[in-house]
A = this chain, B = another copy of it.
Amino acid sequence: MEITLHSPLDMHLHLRDGDMMNLVAPLSSDFAGAVIMPNLVPPVTAPGAMVAYGERIDAAMGHADFTRYMTLFFTKQTEQQLLIAKDTPGFFGFKLYPAGITTNSEGGVSNLADAESTLKMMEEMDIPLLVHGESHGFVMDREAEFLSVYRTLAQKYPKLRLCMEHITTAAALELLDEYENLCATVTLQHLIITLDDVAGGALKPHLFCKPIAKRPNDRDALLQAALNGHPRLMFGSDSAPHPRCNKESCGCAAGVFTAPLALPKLAEIFTRNNAIDKLQGFISGNACRIHKLTPTAKTVTLHDTPMAVPTAYRSNGQEVVPMYAGEEISWSVKH
């Protein structure tokens, strides 16, 4: 059995930089393109730095058959800065992090009220705003507590393309249904796991991410929305590599590395649930329609031949452990 996907997109990807990027970037090359997160150290705030980062990504990918949608770290940019960003080739949108909420987000925004004029201009210029939507509250409540911010933004800027990144709760899905100007990405792991998988048996650092996996009803709601072909729900892996030593230590960094196995696992999930016809929209169609994207024309064929997931990916002293390390996925990319 085979599935052919046209120009699959990863709408939320961390490629890091340097040796780590050289290791992980080629592992996303089955995708036609990806939205690249700007949370390097220091974060990518200037168009010049973004262009240079994009060129380093191209070099790391090793081929041109990959469209990178670059983002800039949101810092309440001025009109002049917005205009320059919009005119910079490869620019896609701004990523907003509440200050200090995840890896390298210390420079994020702490008060959105100060950002009003920037958001108004982004609405007028039709620049998307991608948001890491978590409060600083109790870990299981952070996304739910942030929904009121999304609601305010959706009401205040009805034409702003507002993307709730990596949603993890049934409540976020309900909000998505309330406002037509909201869209959302969801990761592979949040379609599959709950907090039980992270901390219900032994503690599993390689399944620890932010936002943390939530309750079974949240996971079930996200999976059903994807399988039902929710028109404003897009795949964004949030694949976030960390060196093994930063995951298996006294203070494990947040992030699940799924890039190399995301397409096979999605094929497995969608076929098992008799929803193959909904996969194209989830993996590309919704994003292209919402964001008016025309990625590289690329066809990826998946077949029901097992993929043995490596225990780790290694290169140049870098070592990253993927989700399903050492396990088998019943589908694979046909190369």
Contacts and interface: CB of A to CB of B under 8 A. Distances in A.
Interface of A: 138-140, 194-196, 198-206, 208, 212, 215-216, 248-254, 321
Contact of A249 (B138, B216, B248): B248
Given A199-B199, A203-B252, A248-B250, 5 more contacts: A138-B200, A202-B252, A203-B208, A204-B251, A205-B205
Given A203-B203, A205-B203, A195 B250 contact: no
A139 B254 contact: no
A220 B275 CA distance: 46
Point out which of A198, A252, A321 has the most chain B C-beta atoms below 10 A from its C-beta.
Answer: A252
A138 B199 CA distance: 10
A204 B139 CA distance: 14
A156 B63 CA distance: 72
A215 B250 contact: no
A196 B250 contact: no
A207 to B, nearest CB: 10
Nearest to A139: B200
A206 B140 CA distance: 20
17 contacts: A138-B194, A138-B196, A139-B195, A139-B200, A140-B140, A199-B199, A201-B251, A202-B251, A202-B254, A203-B205, A203-B208, A203-B254, A204-B250, A204-B252, A205-B252, A248-B249, A248-B250
A140 B204 contact: no
A203 B140 contact: no
Contact of A216 (B138, B212, B250, B254): B138
A251 B139 contact: no
